[in-house]
Amino acid sequence: MLGLSPEHLLVLLVAALFILGPERLPGAIATVRRTAQKAKDALANAHEQISSEIGPEFEQLRKPLGELNQLRNLDPRTALTRFVLDPPSTPELSPSRRAAGVDMEAT
């Protein structure tokens, strides 16, 4: 939940109890919960609207953006090793093209 450990949540709850007092704390928790739910619903609606307006192009954009995000997470040493030392991926020949001896570069 928001990347907080149980210990952090407990400290925040105790601090809120001292700051707000036992009378206002349940109302404050309910307000925070409603606000978080509204934000979650708004994000879901925005995602649905973008998906419906852009259509299939949205799914085509997701893959390159995901690959770009993976590249951002690489450190320079890993990126260099991955792109210089790893062999490039080549498309496989279909069995009929292999039997005919068709070279991919000739097509």
Q: Token digits for 5?
A: 């450990």
Structural domains of the chain, count: 1
Q: Would 50 be classed as within a structural domain?
A: yes
pTM: 0.46
Task: Return d(Cα 64, Cα 4) in angstroms, integer.
Answer: 31
pLDDT score recorded for residue 44: 93
pLDDT digits (tens, 9 = 90+) for 55-98: 777 777 777 777 777 777 767 777 677 777 776 665 554 555 44
Q: Would 92 be classed as within a structural domain?
A: no
Of 66, 46, 44, the closest CA to residue 54 belongs to 46
Q: Would 12 be classed as within a structural domain?
A: yes
Q: Name the residue range of residue 30's domain.
A: 8-72
* In the chain, alpha helices (H): 6-54, 56-72, 76-80, 95-100
Percent of the chain with pLDDT over 90: 21
Q: Token digits for 50?
A: 């973008």
